[in-house]
Amino acid sequence: MCANQHAGITGMTFGAFDLCHQGHINLLRQAKERCDTLIVCISSDNYIISNKKHPPLLCWNDRKYLVGLTGYADIIDTQWLNGKKPLIEKYSPNILFVGSDWNEDTYSGEGLCDVEYLDYTPYISTSWYRERLNINP
């Protein structure tokens, strides 16, 4: 892959990254391989409580720190309760990256830019870890 093959391409992805695990890292790596600048939007604590109906295991600052350690995120921002659209409009990415556990019926990218579905890492999820640690809402 040429160093400038994706020059000027801005990608964006969203996630809670609550217990940043191998699946998250694989998603971030695949996304970064396809763009020059990767923006990672991490769900706020209140977003997780509201949408997943349980508190996060790690606070936003800790999740941001772990995502930053991967070295794949060029910009890290917060997804608040108002959803993805304001962040997509703020940064105007060329492409949104999501795991292949989503599809065109479940995620449209708000109709604001192209969406690429990246390979989902099977058998690894925060829910899987929560079950093994007996941490259920």
Rounded-to-integer distance, Cα 48 and Cα 59, Å: 10
Task: Note the pLDDT of residue 4.
Answer: 47
Task: Note the pLDDT of residue 60.
Answer: 97
Q: Which of 29-33, 98-102, 131-135 has the weakest average pLDDT?
A: 131-135
pLDDT digits (tens, 9 = 90+) for 6-26: 679 999 999 999 887 788 899
- Mean residue pLDDT across the chain: 84
Q: Rounded to whole angstroms, what are the CA distances from 37 to 7, 8, 78, 79, 109?
A: 8, 7, 17, 18, 18
Hey, what CATH class is 19-132 in? alpha beta
What's the average model confidence in pLDDT over 80-93? 92
What's the average model confidence in pLDDT over 21-35? 92
Structure tokens at 95: 């492409």
Q: How confident is the model at residue 121 (pLDDT cuts 50, 70, 90)?
A: confident
Q: What is the largest CA-CA distance in the chain?
A: 46
Domain ranges of the chain: 19-132
Count of CB atoms within 10 A of residue 131's CB?
11
Q: How confident is the model at residue 128 (pLDDT cuts 50, 70, 90)?
A: low
Q: What are phi and psi of 107, to 5 degrees?
A: -150, 120
Q: Name residues whose C-beta falls within 8 Å of residue 115's C-beta, 6 or more positions apart in sequence.
A: 95, 96, 97, 98, 104, 107, 108, 109
User: Cα torsion at 53, 42, 128, 52 (round to 10°)?
Assistant: 10
